[in-house]
Structure 1
């Protein structure tokens, strides 16, 4: 895939992220006190304060999907099948997927990892890393490095054990890879 097409995908992805965040943050709510207590050992207070949650009937696919289908890009991520997605500091949760308390806090933890990634990278660099990771992994969602990181940390959280600082782990990992961070 040529650099021009990757740049196009990154720009469209970034615009979608910002548009979706701005659309949904208006009806989003802060984390519940119960969720904050469960997540506080893993996330800095400023991250917990940033996070907002909005419920939607279904997460929508980006409006530019028909255009990139015409370009022949395979294996588009079907966001309508996702339980959650994060746009900067706004977590969307689909009502299509009921969850008990344990699956809820696990999903919320995963999405909070993305808030940390956005916070450290900024929305544009997040979009670039996410989309380039998707392209470089052969369009495989499960192999996107930012998703792998979120799923690895989610697994560690789900297993219990000693709390850990998500921000410190992500910051350290991104610095080792040579990325410039916002904070």
Structure 2
């Protein structure tokens, strides 16, 4: 399978997988606590009103085996099973046996919630897939490949801004829109 075929496959299947994961997790996910909502409101406003948090193991998509059977290098597939946290549209899932999530980690994941909201699930998925595949030079360094995804870089940059001055409110939405406009 060449890169164009892989890209097309991932656009379609990742979108369906993200949608299915969100639907499955929202049934058990909880809304933000009032304390967490109050802490994040100066940065996100009402953007997190529909956000939920769950904590269950997440496996890689079931079609990864098919891709490997079709010759796709395992290193070209993001390993979702070992992520400390992953966001499926409005639902943030935390690894159940992972470390206690920091406020910075939660902030990062809620940046993704807002990215989904601003871009839509389909466009978010397209950009994420494109970002992952563009990082092929880091095929033996999945950590570097992951952080080179533009959507992840945005989230890490905003997470760092928050961590540096957690009491200095700024609009995450405005920051995302400004970066998109200048890109």
Which TM-score band applies after superposition, normalised by the shorter structure? 0.7 to 0.9
The CA deviation at 1:22 is: 0.6
Distance 1:119 1:111 in 2: 13
User: Which residues of structure 1 form unaligned runs of 5+?
Assistant: 178-183
Partner of 1:146: 151
The CA deviation at 1:176 is: 2.8
- SS for the counterpart of 2:108 is helix
Task: State the TM-score, normalized to the length of structure 1.
Answer: 0.87
Tell which deviates more after alignment, 33-42 or 111-120. 33-42
What per-residue deviation string (whole Å, max 9, x for no partner) do you get for residues 81-134 of structure 1? 1111111101111111121xxx43211111100011000100000000000110
Map 1:22-33 → 2, pairs under 5 A: 22-33=23-34
Partner of 1:80: 81
Q: Are 2:54 and 2:94, in contact at CA under 8 Å, matched by a contact in 1? A: yes
Runs of 4 or more, structure 1, over 3 Å off, are none
- SS for the counterpart of 2:98 is coil
Q: Which of 152, 174, 177 matches 2:180?
A: 174
Q: Are 1:59 and 1:93, in contact at CA under 8 Å, matched by a contact in 2? A: no
Partner of 1:50: 50
Task: State the TM-score, normalized to the length of structure 2.
Answer: 0.87
Matched residue count: 172
Distance 1:82 1:5 in 2: 22
Distance 1:77 1:5 in 2: 13
Q: Are 2:43 and 2:170, in contact at CA under 8 Å, matched by a contact in 1? A: yes
The CA deviation at 1:51 is: 0.7
